[in-house]
Chain A
Amino acid sequence: MIIVELALHFAVLSLISFGGMPAVMPEMQRLVVDVKGWTTPAEFIQLFAIAQAAPGPNVLVVSLIGWKAAGLAGALVALLAVCFPAAVLSWCVADLWERFKESPWRIAIQRAIAPLVVGLIFSGGYVLCTPETTPDWRLWTIAGATIAVSLMTRLNPLWLLAGGGALGAFLL
């Protein structure tokens, strides 16, 4: 049952997604492409691209993956599975948060997680540009240009996505 597998895997992903969806992109790619084979590496980037171009939270890429794996039911199940465990946790922690504001443990955990999130988000970008075992220089050219522009200007990311699409038509 692919639906059950989707629900279980994405629910686990939900609970370890510190740093939000970008931080679990490499794990999602590993799971969906390498372990389960629900999409090819190229399809994975394409679904990610569609979710980036559409308005809304970037978590919606999971409903495209679910849809590809198991149709409309898969889309709904994947989205709910990736949101629900984290939502329950937020529900429970919301009131405690204020009380532990000055707690040394809260501060330690916050500081511990920051470098992990940076490493994971960078991995997400790296993995997407490296669909096969060797990096794809055309994807890296576009990604490299995006990094440069994004660090040097404050352009809305939508312009960058449009530019990247145009560059893709030219290069790929």
Chain B
Amino acid sequence: MQVTPPQTLLELFTGFLAIGARSFGGVMPWAHRTMVEERRWITPADFAETVGLCQFLPGPNIGNASIVLGKRWFGLSGAIVAFLGLMALPFVWVMALGVLYLEWASHPVVRAVVMGVGATGAGLFMATAIKLGRALVRKPAAVALMAACFLAVGIGRFPLLIVMPVTAMIGIFCARRGWL
């Protein structure tokens, strides 16, 4: 597949603007569609590799991807331009929705609908966790770590700043032994 990276900062900006503008129900599929299928900036394998890196790093995955790709194509200005392009429209929309909601928040039906959407979002999180977790259930050490994280953070409400380093160290120890 023949790919051509964006030639100008404006092109980079409008590309990421298009990703942000259309990304209802998840950004990654739209990032793939825009950069791989429509604009042909990057090969599918390269895209998957970049996303893999950004999922591994802390921070919003797609935000990190905008930094990594912007840097690759235009250096610092590219990273800034890609990030701003990505966030600009969604920021405006989410704030507009927020303001609109505040106007209507006292209305019981509006409130109930929004709470329902929130509970659905929570369900989507748990479904994602179950899908990811299914690949790990055959390893007892992985099951123990998943359960420990849930008990400590979900039930016990311990600060992540304590739980993360402790469980990560146990996890790395287990992984080096070949238990994960």
Contacts and interface: CB of A to CB of B under 8 A. Distances in A.
Interface string B123-140: 111111111110010000
Contacts of A113: 56, 168, 171
Contacts of A30: 157, 159-160
A112 B123 contact: no
Nearest to A109: B172
B99 to A, nearest CB: 9
B83 to A, nearest CB: 7
Interface in B103-147: 105, 109, 111-133, 136, 141-143, 145-147
B160 A16 contact: yes
Interface of B is mostly: helix
A112 to B, nearest CB: 3
Contacts of B125: 22, 25, 121-122, 124-125, 128
Interface residues of B, number: 89
Given A18-B164, A86-B64, A165 B94 contact: no
A112 B180 contact: yes
Nearest to A90: B64
A57 B90 contact: yes
B59 A87 contact: yes
Nearest to A119: B149
B118 A46 contact: yes
Contacts of A142: 116, 119-120, 123
Nearest to B100: A50
A90 B68 contact: yes
Contact of A49 (B61, B89, B118): B118
A146 B127 CA distance: 8
Interface of B: 20-27, 53-64, 67-68, 71-72, 79, 83, 86-87, 89-91, 93-95, 97-98, 101, 105, 109, 111-133, 136, 141-143, 145-150, 153-155, 157, 159-161, 164, 167-168, 170-172, 174-176, 180
Interface of A: 12, 14-22, 24-27, 30, 34, 42, 45-61, 63-64, 67, 72, 75, 79, 82-83, 85-87, 89-91, 93-94, 97, 104, 107-129, 138-140, 142-147, 150-151, 156-158, 160-161, 163-169, 171-172
Given A67-B95, A121-B129, A121-B132, 15 more contacts: A20-B60, A20-B61, A26-B153, A45-B122, A53-B97, A63-B94, A75-B91, A86-B64, A112-B170, A115-B133, A115-B142, A116-B145, A118-B136, A123-B150, A168-B116
